[in-house]
Structure 1
Amino acid sequence: MPFVAPCRRLETLAPISWLACGWEDFKRAPVQSLTFGVSLMVVSWLLAWAAWTFGGFFVLIGLVSGFIFVGPVMALLLYSVSRQLELGRRPKLAHCLFEGRRNVANEALMGLVLMVVLLIWARAASMVHVFFPVGSGAIEDILLFLAIGSVVGSVFALIIFSATAFSLPMITDRQTDMITAVITSVNAVLRNKPAMAVWAAIIVLGLLIGFLTAFLGLAVILPVIGYATWHGYRDAIDASAWPPHPDPRRPSTS
């Protein structure tokens, strides 16, 4: 097997077409999409309430950052929906869960890595908090804190983005290991910087809209982004050297 799956050159605005395909998948599987999206919306409400009640604004910022880190793993069910649609099948939640169990080892490894990175980021965020004068409401101090925090957070976010951009769709689609998938993802991101910068901007904009709408927008935005990620993987990565996962489900008769 190759050490890394070859990647294709992407047009700068290719992510726009991924987003359009993601929206089509959302419309073709509205029940599964909204089940996932509404579930994450409710979880977001609970986390925001807990942070605001027990920790305040800066804990809320930390939880938002953590959401960005663990989001890719949570999107695995969405990749399965897109895969089933691609195979011409009607998506079933049971089949999505089966595919999740099939990749449990790789998912656990990625989850562990993301958790370690999140803990390091949390530690870095607490160190950044030292630069913010406690009890100060001066706009200059707030801007300084946000600027420093944004730079530090961007470094961690870039690492996670590069590692997960295409790796999780790849293990959903092909019989490969997480290390190969991550290297493939990083390679594709580095070789298509303009297109991936556009994709990153779309994700950030989508999350921002979700947060500004009190998380209501996430019910639609997150599923569409998840489906679009699958189509981005199909567009960018040639994983034909690895065998596809078998589909044990019988064709639907209903």
Structure 2
Amino acid sequence: MSDVTSHPVGEGAPDIREMEIGDLRRALHNGWRDFRRKPFFGLFFAAVYVVGGWAIYLLLFQAHLEWLAIPLTFGFPLIGPFLAVGLYEVSRRLEAEDYDWTARDIFAVVWRQRLRQLPSMAWVIIVYFLFWSFFAHMLFALFLGPSALTNVTSSYAYLLEPEGLTMLLVGGAFGAVFAFVLFALTVVSLPLLLDREVDFVTSMITSIAVIRQNPKIMFAWAFTIAALTFLAMMPGLVGLIVVLPVLGHASWHIYRQATVTSGERGAT
């Protein structure tokens, strides 16, 4: 592990480490290990996510709004970090070698978060997701025209025309920017809010500070998350049953490798 760089962004906020590429491999290894040790929690939280995705798509098809499936496919993963809070708690306890707990204890911790700062972060994520959906709708109409919004429900040929391909490219580029901004705001903030008593604004500033301190490493982590999530979504979201919990557990270890507690600071 590299040297520590202090970033006093707020009361209770941790200092930040300078990370190495090996930290990503360790985080994924530890995430897979945590998933294998406590698979029930990973499978449960991932199932909630996958079933939620299926339900959204089913409602869209029943409402003849199939065209919305495209932006939602790219936007739906934005809410994944919030659903991973339970996985953070499992990894936190395993890391502390605390094995005297049950599933009820984990769900109780998740339930108690409603009284802390996590609901504020949840609203940030939800509003962000809704804004992305609106933006994708506007982009669709801008490139293909309002009539395509109804005609695409019976034929996806619009998407194979030059305007449709351009819309997909532009939308994909904007979507990548939207996703990375949210990644920068949440990559450390969510596990930090679970781990410490800090406000959600401080947690987001800390998360951005981690990105600024380790831009190449964190960009590689963002790419890893995007690539694995995209591949896992291809077979009807089924791959997320494994990928989501592993990434959720690994995200906890990224947080721990990117920050320094007071005890670790004194030992450095």
What does residue 5 of structure 1 align with?
14
What secondary structure does 1:103 align onto? helix
Task: Report the secondary structure of 2:133's partner residue.
Answer: helix
1:113 aligns with 2:124: yes
1:39 maps to what in 2? 48
Instruction: Say if 2:210 is the partner of 1:188.
Output: yes
Pick aligned residue for 1:97 from 81, 91, 107: 107
Amino acid of the structure 2 residue aligned with 1:119:
L
Distance 2:202 2:95 in 1: 24
Which residue is 2:5 aligned to?
none
Structure 1 residue 164 corresponds to structure 2 residue 173? no
Q: Return 128-137 or 105-114, whichever deviates more.
A: 128-137
Measured after TM superposition, the shift of residue 117 of structure 1 is 1.8
| Pairing partner for 1:24 from 30, 33, 43 | 33
Q: How much does 1:13 deviate?
A: 4.5
RMSD: 2.0
Q: Distance in 1 between matches of 2:53 and 2:254?
A: 26
Residues 24-46 of structure 1 show CA distances to partners (whole Å, capped at 9, x for unaligned) of: 00010012221222232222222
Q: Which runs of 4+ in 1 moved over 6 A?
A: none
Gap change, CA 1:175 and 1:139, over 3 Å in 2:
same
| C-alpha distance in structure 2 between counterparts of 1:127 and 1:190, whole Å | 32
Question: Alignment identity in percent?
Answer: 31
**Could you tell me which residue of structure 1 aligns to residue 97 of structure 2?**
88
C-alpha contact (below 8 Å) 2:9/2:206 kept by paired residues: no
C-alpha distance in 2 between matches for 1:142 and 1:13: 41
**Residue aligned with 1:7, SS:** strand
Residue pair 1:22, 1:227 contacting (<8 A) in 2 also: yes
Gaps (5+ residues) in structure 1?
242-254
Local SS of the residue matching 2:236: coil
Equivalent residue letter for 2:82: V
User: Which segments of 5 or more consecutive residues in structure 2 lack a partner in the other structure?
Assistant: 1-7, 152-157, 264-268
Which segment drifts farther, 69-78 or 50-59?
A: 50-59
Aligned letter for 2:48?
Answer: S
| Residues in 1 aligned to 2:9 and 2:240: alpha-carbon distance in whole angstroms | 38
Amino acid at match of 2:68: V
Distance 2:238 2:186 in 1: 25
Of residues 229, 233, 242 in structure 2, which corresponds to 1:207? 229
**Structure 1 residues 41 and 116, CA, compared in 2 at 3 Å: closer, same or farther?**
closer
Q: Secondary structure at the match of 2:98?
A: coil
Instruction: Decide whether the 8 Å contact of 2:49 with 2:83 is kept in 1.
Output: no
Larger mean CA deviation between 201-210 and 11-20 belongs to 11-20
133-142 vs 225-234, which deviates more?
133-142
> Residues 220-235 of structure 1 correspond to what in structure 2 (within 5 A)?
220-235=242-257
TM-aligned CA deviation for residue 203 of structure 1: 0.8
After alignment, is 86-95 or 76-85 more displaced?
86-95
Aligned length: 241
Distance change (3 Å), C-alpha of 1:221 and 1:138: closer
Equivalent of residue 131 in structure 1, options 110, 117, 142: 142
Distance 1:24 1:63 in 2: 31
**TM-score by structure 1 length?**
0.87
